[in-house]
Amino acid sequence: MSEEKTNHKGGYSETAAIRTQHERTDFREHSVPLYLTSSFVFDDAEQARALFADEVPGNIYTRFSNPNNTEFIEKLCLLEGTEDGIATASGMAAMYISMASLLKSGDHILASRSVFGSTHQILNIIFPKVNISYTYADITDPKSWESKIQSNTKMIFVETPSNPALDIIDLEWLGKLATKHKLILNVDNCFATPYLQNPAKWGAHLVTHSATKFIDGQGRVIGGAVLGTKELIKEVRFFARHTGPAMSPFNAWVLSKSLETLAVRMERHCQNALHLASYLENHAEVLKVKYPFLNSHPQHELAKKQMRHGGGVVTFEIKGGIDRGRKFLNSLKMISHSANLGDTRTIATHPASTTHSKLTNDEREAVGILPGLIRISVGLEDLKDVIVDLDQAIKNSQ
C-alpha cells in the first residue's frame, strides 16, 4: 500500500477507510486508478517462475489477485481488525467459499437458524450432496447451542443482526464457545458492516460480507469478502484461486471508494432508521416493529453492547396480514419495492414472497418471517419524505 498508509492497528478508523490506497504510479494520480487487466507481464522468465512458486509476492492473473482487489481487502482488514482476506464476486460466493474451502465430507456445521435464504440453501441442499451436514440452533435460546456440538462439528456460522428477523447473537459468548470446542467461528457481518460491529474483536476467526449492501451503499455492484486469520485465509485463497469466484477489479475499485464514505453513510442510515422505527411503533395501523436499538427489541441490551448503532434496517408488521401488506407495497410512490438493501434509496421488501420464498412456511415461521412482515432498508433521503410515503401507503392499503 501507499505512503499514505496509516499506522492503524485494527478496528474502525475513518482515516484508514479513506487513506489506505494502492501505491501511487508514476502518473502521480490522487485517486487510485482502475487496474482493468486480466493478467500482468513478467520482467523475465526467472520472475515468472518465482511468482508461480510463491517465492516473491506480486500479481500474475486477476483470478488470483489484482491491485484494486488488494486495496479493497487491505482496507476492510484494517476496519474489521482481521489479518488477511479475499474479495469475491458476490456475498454468496463469500459465504460458500468460507465454508467449502475449510470443510470436507463428514464435517458438521452448527448454524444459527436465522440465516439468509441462500445460505440456508447451501446448508440444506448443496452441502448434503458432499456429505457436509448442519444443525440449526435458535439465536433466542443460547443455552441449547453447546448440546448441539458434535464430535465432527468444525464450524459455527451465524449472522447478526439476522436478515430479516433482526435477531442479535452474543458474539462474546459465541467466541468463548468456539474457543472451548476448538471450532471455527464464521460471522456474516453484512447487516452491521465494520463500522457498527467487529466480530473478530469477540473471537470470530472468519468475518464474511456481502459488500453489495451497505459497503457499496448505492445499489450499483455485487461483491463479497472473506476476512480472517492468515492461517484460514491461506486455505480460502487456494480454493478461490483454483475455483474462480474472484471479484471484478471494477467492482473492487467501486467498493474501495465506497468504504471512504461508509462511516458518514452508516451514521445517517442508523439515525433515520431509529427515527422511523420509533414513528412506526406509535402508528395505530402497525402491529409490531423490530429494530435493535428500540427498547422493545428483546436483545436491546446485547445490541447496545456489541453494536455502535442499530443498523439501517427496520421490520414491521402491518395490521391486516399478507393482503394488506401487498396492498401497502403496491401503494408506495417514492419508496422502492425491490429485493436489495443498504442503498441510499429507501427500499421496502416482502421477505416471505421474495428473499426467503424458498423456505417452507414452518421454516419461515421458526425465524420470525411472518406472512405480513415488511422489511424497510432505510435510505439517506430526508426522513420526512419517507414517512409521508409510508403513511399514505398505509392509509391507501386499508
Instruction: Give yes or no for a contact between 253 and 32, defined as CB atoms under 8 angstroms apart.
Output: yes
Looking at residue 150, its amino acid is Q
Q: Minimum distance between the CB of residue 238 and ligand PLP, rounded to whole angstroms?
A: 22
Contact letters (x/-) for ligand PLP, 107-136, by CB under 6 A? Answer: ---------x-x------------------
Residues comprising the chain, all counted: 398
- Interface with ligand PLP (CB under 6 A), residue from 70, 163, 299, 346: 163
**17: which 3 cell numbers?**
477507510
Integer Rg of the chain from CA: 21
Residues pairing with 316 in the sheet: 289, 374
Least distance CB 288 / ligand PLP (angstroms) = 21
Residue 82 engages ligand PLP in binding (rule: CB under 6 A): no
Q: How many CB atoms lie within 10 A of CB 382?
A: 9
| Closest to 247 in 3D by CA, of 77, 35, 79, 102 | 35
221 is an interface residue for ligand PLP by CB under 6 A: no
Is there binding between residue 189 and ligand PLP (CB under 6 A)?
A: no
When asked if residue 222 is in the footprint of ligand PLP (CB under 6 A), the reply is: yes
- Cβ closer to ligand PLP: 91 or 379? 91
* E-strand stretches of 160-235: 184-188, 206-210, 224-228
The pairing of strands 373-377 and 108-112 is unpaired
Q: Which is nearer to ligand PLP, 70 or 90 (CB)?
A: 90
Cα–Cα nearest to 381, from 260, 265, 282, 277: 265
Q: What are phi and psi of 194, to 5 degrees?
A: -65, -15
Q: Does 91 bind ligand PLP (CB under 6 A)?
A: yes
CA distance 133 to 140: 22
Q: Does 167 bind ligand PLP (CB under 6 A)?
A: no
Q: Which of 210, 258, 349, 397 binds ligand PLP (CB under 6 A)?
A: 210
Q: Which stretch binds ligand PLP (CB under 6 A): 183-191, 239-247, 279-287, 382-390?
A: 183-191
Residue 219 CB, shortest distance to ligand PLP, in Å, is 12
By CB under 6 A, name the binding residues for ligand PLP. 90-92, 95, 116, 118, 159, 163, 188, 190-191, 210, 212, 222, 224
